[in-house]
Amino acid sequence: MAIRLTCKTLGAACLGLSMAWFTPAAFALADIIETPARQTDLAPTNLLNDAVRAGDRIVAVGERGHIIYSDDGGQTWAQGSVPVAVTLTAVDFGSETHGWAVGHSGVVLHTEDAGENWSLQLTGIGASELAIASKEDQIAAMEERIEEAPESEVGDLEWALDDLFFAMENMQSDLDIGPVNPLLGVWFENDQHGFVVGAYGMILRTQDGGDTWKDWAPQIDNGQNFHLNGIARIAGGALVIVGEAGQIHVSVDGGSTWERRESPYPGSLFGVIGTGQVNEILAFGLRGNMLFSSDLGKSWRMVPNSAGATLNDGAVADDGRITLVGNGGTVLMSGNGADSFREHFRGDRAGIMSVVPVSGTNLLIVGESGVKITDARGKNLQ
Amino acid sequence: MSNPNHDRGDHFLTTPKAEPFLERLIFNNRVVILIGFLLLTAFLGYNAIKIQPDASFERMIPLEHPYIINMLDHRNDLENLGNFVRIAVETKTGDIFSAEYMETLKQITDEVFYLDGVDRSGLKTLWTSNVRWVEVTEQGFQGGTVIPDGYDGSPESLEQLRQNILRSNEVGRLVSDNFRSTIVYAPLYEKNPETGEPLDYATFSRQLEEKIRDKYREQNPNIDIHIVGFAKKVGDLIEGIGSIAWFAGITILLTTLLLFWYSRSVTGTLVPVFTSIVAVFLQLGALRLLGYGLDPYSVLVPFLVFAIGISHGVQIVNAMAVEAAKGFDAETSARLAFRALYIPGMLALISDAFGFLTLFFIEIDVIRDLAVAAGLGVAFVIITNLVLHVLIMSYLGISKGGIRHVQNHGEKQDRKWRLMSYFAHPGVAPISLLIAVIGLGLGLYYKQDLKVGDLDQGAPELRADSRYNLDNAYIINNYSTSADVLVVMVKTPEEQCTQYNVLRAMDSLQWELQNTPGVQSSASLADVSKIVTKALNEGNWKWYEISRNQTIINASIREAPTGLINTNCSLTPVLVFLEDHKAETLETVVESVEVFANANSNENHTFLLAAGNAGVEAATNEVIANAKDMMLIMVYGVVSLLCFATFRSIRAVLCIVVPLGLTSILCEAIMAVSGIGIKVATLPVIALGVGIGVDYGIYIYSKLEKYLLEGKPLQEAYFQTLLSTGKAVMFTGVTLGLGVVTWIFSPIKFQADMGFLLFFMFLWNMVGAIWLLPALARFLLKPEKMIAKARAAK
């Protein structure tokens, strides 16, 4: 696990510090979640973290609340109207018009016009309050359990209760600072049902198009609150979440219940996709590590490659080719259903965060230096 | 001049009685005065020789401008942010991954390490241990020096080096985008921490040339070396001052030849040259005694002093030759020449001096120094020229050849002067005026494009094709870097400079600026925090944001470059990299910052303009733009007043000043067309040009008035004027032009600009006086009224 200098690891000392720092002084600038994103020509050339299709349209999200969309395969871009200026991390569309974007400060943004206008549905404050409430429920349930439990189990249960308390206090102290934690992934089934996932095990579910959210963390076996980095649906209908420290969670009932899978790789996974074949999962992350499963994650095989760099996202083209992209300008391509990959490195070595197949074998990639349209090996076309 | 009686009391600066008194005072004490001059010259000349070059940065900037005050207030907090040199070591064939290249780079690294003035702990090259690569692994970070452990120059270790560089994030910074050169980055001490001595830029720059550039280019013919940085630039400037000595020699030689061709008299040549050089020594000596050094601007003043001395000396030589031709002896000719010339001479010189002194209103020290130097110089010219020169000539006299030359030549040239007198003809004058009006219109049209500030790429002080600017262009083209940096200082209460709201505010300012035309990029603690936060989260770009959690912010900036936080964490800079340093660019950007600063400064964070070279230039431009009109009004006001005081006629003032105005406007049009902006160097040109240029008009008008008062018709009066003073006036124009024309070849760009513009002003003011003054006189002067008025005054 990477270094995590957060209040969670530093504990109470940090709590005191952050309380001392937080004084409700008159800020000259409005908070970043109350500041609309600036309309700028620079959006397509600055950091973009995710890009998806919304029908024929491509929509991409990035730093400073940038959401841009293109109706000509990425040649020209327009900027959506967004009420926040935080770094956005992920976007997904449940239908051609209904989409959700998530990002820092725990924001959830919603569009009903395919990305042109966005409204704020939830912030990290609401998310934390939901999480704290569900921790309180868990604590109450645990206390009941302890009263009824046989003597021999009480000791362990009290440890578990302490963990719950500690987790809740951490959430409370984070909330005192403000909406500190980012959401990192989003998936929507249609214009009603979807999940958002994020830092420290955050996961929320809506079944009414984002009007109300439920904390879904209790359904996930993630006792140490590791980051959840990505969520996707694979062919056959199963949902897969991947995250920090080899977290892999699978749901076969549309997200109601989740089962933890054992990962052969203990490092962070940043993304997951299906291959187009039923029940096949391809998960990937730190240092080019890539895991393949054809049985919903019950067994895994490491896919060898010499990319060496962190892999962030992948996509399957209509012809079945799989492309993965990552840091250091890495573009991996497989024509044989993830048996093996060919590596390419872009000349600029800039990090690539997301890929969308466009016309022919061409790709649209977004990342550290904005949007690029490339050939199948990641070479610039323009 | 044919009748000395007419030269007596026609002017109003003095009474008829005073004149003989001054003349008696000087001529009856010739020996005493000459001995006095000898002693004064010996004393000041000794000081003059010891004067030192001095290119102080502070004297070139407007110290009273609020930006500069802010910058100097926080100078210690910003230390080492700007003072460094970058040495790009380029390989001419292949790339940097060769054992030979790396060996040369290692030797250069060692050599730079031991240069006096280098802050050794901050030295960065591929060979220093502070240049590292870092990689995120499952266990945390893994890293090492870019030079692999056990490097031995083998292909394997070179391949490892390539891998490390790619992982190190140094491409575009220490390693060029095309892998054909790398940078040796050497921060410098302003003051040597051991001895406390300030950095000697001239020596440091010379060492870079000798110990680095020359030595290693010779040792390894396959490499080239490019050096940029403030210290190198100042070194080059100081070296440029040295080439002035050559220009001085050439100017003196050319002037002497011209003077001999003009006077055909050895004494009439050598004495003015000698007395003018005396004036230069007196001026330099006095400057040193007043505590001044020679900066790249004031080093030009001796040329002006010399040229002014010569041009007025010529008037005296001319007058003496005319008198001597009538048969007077040396002393009487000298007395008569003095009597005829001391009023217009003094008036002309005083107006020169006042013209210079108007420069004092510009709040930039080098320009004030220029005013002092030039004012002093003219004061000395008044005494060397009107006293020393006349006295020496009263002993030596004009040689026979010179007198014959005046007699023969005068008659031969009658036809030429006759032809030129038609400028006053009633048929020609309207045409001249029409041409002048057209010229004025064109001038006003083209002058619209006149810009404030420096317009060229690179270091504006040096020529575009200078070694420094070529090196600068190389580094800009091969590395992700800009030479024009504006620094906004963000001031906070102590220990508060890294607070979330401060970083957030800086980030907002940066985005505002990056959306402002002319801004290339920006950098601040906010960027460091975002980058490191991302790195601490396994290098995932989704974490590229300023955390609200202060603990995370603190962790993210723990390794921030020292220049970004001052010692008590109350100041942190925002660096704004600009596309160029054109005045509009600077104005737009500064305006953006000011709007933001006014809206968003509060007790937690105040945004202060400005440091960085672009900040200084923005302040300088503002001062220059404000001072320009003020200075024009002052210089024209002073010159007009002096002319009015002398000739007691508004019409006379118009005759003299209108041609000057036309020249000033044409000069600005030429600046606009040839891409020279109004800047520290060119602003004084107009004051100098007008102050000196008025001399021609004064000499011509005073004669013209005299002949008109004698009752001659205008054209005849102008013919007589040309006959007596036309040659001297034309010669003056050529001498002054020669005095400055050599500057055009100066390696220092602004000296070349000044030379070019002054050359134009001096020559064209002469043309204006000879051609346009009589045409204006035709329309403005009423000789009958002038005669009546003169009678009434008597």
- For the cut 60, the answer to whether the pLDDT of residue A28 exceeds it is no
Amino acid at site A345: F
Query: Across the strands, what pairs with B186?
Result: B85
- Smallest CA-to-CA distance from B589 within B553, B617, B629 is with B617
Find chain B residues with C-beta within 8 A of A26's C-beta. Answer: 602
Q: Does A368 touch chain B (CB under 8 A)?
A: yes
pLDDT for B459 equals 80
pLDDT for B344 equals 78
Q: Which pLDDT band, with edges at 50, 70 and 90, does B574 fall under? A: very high
Q: Which pLDDT band, with edges at 50, 70 and 90, does B696 fall under? A: confident
Location of structure tokens 């100081």: B238
Q: Which pLDDT band, with edges at 50, 70 and 90, does B103 fall under? A: very high
- For the cut 80, the answer to whether the pLDDT of residue A66 exceeds it is yes
Q: Which pLDDT band, with edges at 50, 70 and 90, does B139 fall under? A: low
pLDDT for A2 equals 38
Q: CB distance B552–A40 less than 8 Å?
A: no
pLDDT for B411 equals 62
Q: Which pLDDT band, with edges at 50, 70 and 90, does B457 fall under? A: confident
DSSP A56: T
- Smallest CA-to-CA distance from A192 within A202, A182, A206 is with A206
Best of A7, A22, A29, A183 to mutate (most B CBs within 10 Å, chain B): A29
Best of B492, B540, B552 to mutate (most A CBs within 10 Å, chain A): B540
Locate B547 and state its tokens.
């955390």
- For the cut 80, the answer to whether the pLDDT of residue B9 exceeds it is no
Share of chain A above pLDDT 90, in %: 77
Closest in B136, B505, B547 to A286, CB measured = B136
Element (H, E) at B784: helix B783-793
Interface of A with B in 140-199 (CB under 8 A): 174, 177-180, 182, 184
pLDDT for B738 equals 86
Tell me the mean pLDDT in the region A48-54: 96
State how far the Cα of A97 lies from the Cα of A360, in Å rounded to an integer: 25
pLDDT for B14 equals 39
Amino acid at site B454: D
pLDDT for B735 equals 87
CA angle A161, A231, A70 (to 5 degrees): 140
Overall residue count recorded for chain B in this entry: 794
A/B interface, count of CB pairs below 8 Å: 113
State how far the Cα of A26 lies from the Cα of B652, in Å rounded to an integer: 67
Burial of residue B487, with CB atoms counted within 10 A of its CB: 0-12 exposed, 13-18 middle, 19 or more buried:
buried
Convert the pLDDT of each residue in B494-547 to its tens digit. 999 999 999 999 999 999 999 999 998 888 999 989 988 998 898 899 999 999
Helices in B560-649 by DSSP H: which ranges?
583-600, 612-647
Element (H, E) at A111: strand A108-111
pLDDT for B113 equals 93
pLDDT for B541 equals 94
Tell me the mean pLDDT in the region A46-66: 96
Convert the pLDDT of each residue in B368-418 to its tens digit. 888 889 889 999 998 898 899 999 999 988 887 777 777 765 566 678 888
Q: Does A73 touch chain B (CB under 8 A)?
A: no
- Smallest CA-to-CA distance from A131 within A220, A197, A202 is with A202
State how far the Cα of A291 lies from the Cα of A281, in Å rounded to an integer: 8
Contact B2, B331 (CB under 8 A): no
Q: CB distance B544–A3 less than 8 Å?
A: no
Convert the pLDDT of each residue in B209-247 to its tens digit. 999 999 999 999 999 999 998 888 888 888 887 778 888
Choice among A43-52, A243-252, B172-181, B657-666 with the minimum mean pLDDT: B172-181
- For the cut 60, the answer to whether the pLDDT of residue A19 exceeds it is no
Question: How far is B523 from chain A, CA to nearest CA, in Å?
Answer: 15
Structure-model confidence comparison of residues A269 and B54, the more confident one = A269
Starting from the edge strand earliest in sequence, which strands make up the sheet with B571-578, in order? B519-523, B571-578, B484-491, B606-611
- Arithmetic mean of pLDDT over chain B: 86
Q: Which pLDDT band, with edges at 50, 70 and 90, does B140 fall under? A: low
Whether a cis peptide bond, with omega within 30° of 0, leads into B610 is yes
Cβ atoms < 10 Å from Cβ of A251: 21
Overall residue count recorded for chain A in this entry: 382
Q: Which pLDDT band, with edges at 50, 70 and 90, does B80 fall under? A: low
State how far the Cα of A137 lies from the Cα of A132, in Å rounded to an integer: 9
Angle between helices B683-709 and B727-741 (to 10 degrees): 170
pLDDT for B11 equals 42
Helices (H) and strands (E) in chain B, counts: 30, 9
Is-above-0.95 flag for pTM? no
**Secondary structure of residue A150 in the 3-state scheme:** coil
- Smallest CA-to-CA distance from B461 within B682, B291, B634, B283 is with B682
Pairing verdict, β A247-251 and B571-578: unpaired
Convert the pLDDT of each residue in A317-347 to its tens digit. 999 999 999 998 999 999 998 899 999 998 7
Interface list for chain B against chain A, based on CB atoms closer than 8 Å: 136-138, 140-141, 166, 171, 499, 501, 504-505, 508, 511, 514-515, 536-545, 547-552, 555, 599-605
Q: CB distance A29–B501 less than 8 Å?
A: yes
State how far the Cα of B661 lies from the Cα of B765, in Å rounded to an integer: 9
DSSP string, A91-107: EEESSSS-EEEEEGGG-
Q: Which pLDDT band, with edges at 50, 70 and 90, does B351 fall under? A: confident
pLDDT for A5 equals 37
State how far the Cα of B281 lies from the Cα of B438, in Å rounded to an integer: 44
Convert the pLDDT of each residue in B590-638 to its tens digit. 999 999 999 998 888 999 998 888 898 899 899 888 888 888 888 899 8
Whether a cis peptide bond, with omega within 30° of 0, leads into B483 is no
Q: CB distance A328–B166 less than 8 Å?
A: yes
- Smallest CA-to-CA distance from B335 within B242, B270, B397, B425 is with B397
Burial of residue B474, with CB atoms counted within 10 A of its CB: 0-12 exposed, 13-18 middle, 19 or more buried:
middle
Q: CB distance A29–B601 less than 8 Å?
A: no
Query: Across the strands, what pairs with B609?
Result: B488
| Those residues with Cβ within 8 angstroms of residue A215's Cβ, 6 or more apart along the chain or in another chain | A127, A130, A131, A133, A134, A203, A204
Q: Does A231 touch chain B (CB under 8 A)?
A: no
| Those residues with Cβ within 8 angstroms of residue B304's Cβ, 6 or more apart along the chain or in another chain | B374, B377, B688, B692, B739, B740
> Strand (E) positions, B63-202?
84-91, 132-137, 140-145, 181-187
Share of chain A above pLDDT 70, in %: 92
Task: State the sign of the Cα–Cα–Cα–Cα dihedral B470, B611, B632, B361.
Answer: negative
Tell me the mean pLDDT in the region A142-167: 88
Q: Which pLDDT band, with edges at 50, 70 and 90, does B293 fall under? A: confident
- For the cut 70, the answer to whether the pLDDT of residue A23 exceeds it is no
State how far the Cα of B402 lies from the Cα of A97, in Å rounded to an integer: 100
Closest in B171, B514, B538 to A286, CB measured = B538
